[in-house]
């Protein structure tokens, strides 16, 4: 995959994607394939302010610090992943703190460079795919068009027609709506059944980490669009988080070594409650 890069960028993966290190790794390799040298940056140290938006002062301070850190990297392109981060950069961050970079979403960049990506998609992947599409964000960045367009380049992939449009810009936003996530998952399962799809493909991380539980007891698979592109490139795309989340005993699934490396207390307080959370449907 030796391609001489013609763009140096920061890949801002957001914060919660730390649960899916392999998506960050694979995104970087896919970007590398289309000529982008992308340095990942994310986590609480690069916060867009969303988690603290109860306080405009705190959120603004975090956002200012993040823009300054990106400026210091000396890379003139910022590639976003998370729709909240992307919109906050557009709406509040760059207009307030001068940004020495241009911002674009990863789907936009890959769509523009799709002809460079196509030669790498040589591995057949048999999948009838339903896209887990939300209403929001698509007006800013046409993800509901670009993601299926990119996936259609993978040999064997069929994208089913569906009018599924889940409210909100991503699933975590549905926390503000009574039974919002449960209704979204029911609608998604109904669309899977109606369309005969066998693979649900999520676009955003907050959707993916909840949707993986839909595999339980059902003959479907749930993948993120980056996993599917990686499969088409013949790259290992194992989704460990999905395995942990759907395991009867997440501690055993992680294994003693990893739990003790993290620490029992950290595992029990910070990781186990999420991995054992009951699915909403």
Partner 1 sequence: MLAEACTACGACYLVCPTVAQVPALAGALPETVMAGVRDLLRGSAGNEAAIAFAAACCRSAICADVCPERLDAAFLMRLASLRVRGALGDPRVATKDDPGWSARVKAFARLTMTEEEQAKWL
Binding site residues, partner 1, CB under 8 A? 13, 15-16, 18-22, 24-25, 39-45, 51, 53-56, 59, 87, 91, 134-140, 167-169, 173-174, 176-180, 183, 240-241, 254, 258, 261-262, 266-267, 269-271, 274
Shortest spacing between CB 115 and partner 1, in angstroms: 29
Give CA–CA dist 95/58, Å, rounded.
Answer: 17
Nearer to partner 1, 38 or 154 (CB): 38
In this structure, the chain runs to a length of 281
Shortest spacing between CB 216 and partner 1, in angstroms: 21
Shortest spacing between CB 26 and partner 1, in angstroms: 12
Shortest spacing between CB 114 and partner 1, in angstroms: 26
255 phi-psi bin (left φ>0, alpha ψ -120 to 50, beta other): left
Give CA–CA dist 226/21, Å, rounded.
Answer: 12
- What is each CA distance from 36 to 31, 78, 152, 207, 278, in whole angstroms? 5, 11, 22, 26, 40
List all residues 6 or more positions away from 149 whose beta carbon is below 8 Å from its beta carbon. Answer: 111, 114
Nearer to partner 1, 89 or 157 (CB): 89
Give CA–CA dist 24/2, Å, rounded.
Answer: 19
Nearer to partner 1, 177 or 281 (CB): 177
Give CA–CA dist 17/42, Å, rounded.
Answer: 8
Nearer to partner 1, 96 or 262 (CB): 262
Shortest spacing between CB 153 and partner 1, in angstroms: 28
């Amino acid at each position: 995959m030796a391609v001489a890069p013609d763009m140096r960028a920061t890949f801002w993966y957001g914060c919660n994607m730390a649960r899916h290190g392999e998506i960050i790794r694979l995104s970087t390799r896919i970007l590398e394939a289309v000529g982008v040298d992308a340095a990942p940056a994310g986590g609480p140290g690069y916060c867009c302010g969303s988690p603290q938006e109860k306080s405009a002062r705190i959120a603004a301070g975090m956002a200012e610090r993040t823009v300054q850190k990106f400026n210091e990297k000396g890379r003139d392109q910022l590639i976003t992943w998370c729709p909240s981060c992307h919109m906050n950069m557009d709406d509040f961050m760059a207009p307030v703190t001068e940004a020495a970079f241009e911002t674009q979403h990863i789907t936009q960049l890959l769509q523009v460079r799709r002809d460079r990506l196509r030669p790498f998609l040589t591995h057949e992947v048999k999948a009838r795919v339903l896209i887990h599409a939300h209403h929001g964000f698509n007006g800013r960045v046409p993800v509901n068009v670009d993601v299926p367009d990119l996936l259609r380049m993978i040999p064997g992939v069929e994208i089913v027609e569906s009018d599924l449009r889940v409210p909100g810009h991503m699933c975590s936003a549905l926390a503000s709506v009574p039974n919002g996530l449960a209704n979204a998952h029911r609608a998604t399962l109904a669309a899977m059944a109606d369309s005969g799809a066998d693979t649900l493909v999520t676009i955003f991380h907050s959707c993916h980490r909840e949707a993986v539980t839909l595999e339980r007891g059902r003959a479907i698979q749930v993948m993120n669009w980056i996993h599917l592109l990686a499969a088409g490139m013949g790259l290992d795309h194992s989704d460990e988080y999905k395995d942990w989340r759907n395991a009867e005993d997440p501690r055993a699934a992680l294994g003693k070594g990893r739990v003790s490396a993290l620490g029992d207390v950290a595992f029990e307080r910070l990781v186990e409650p999420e991995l054992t959370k009951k699915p909403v449907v």
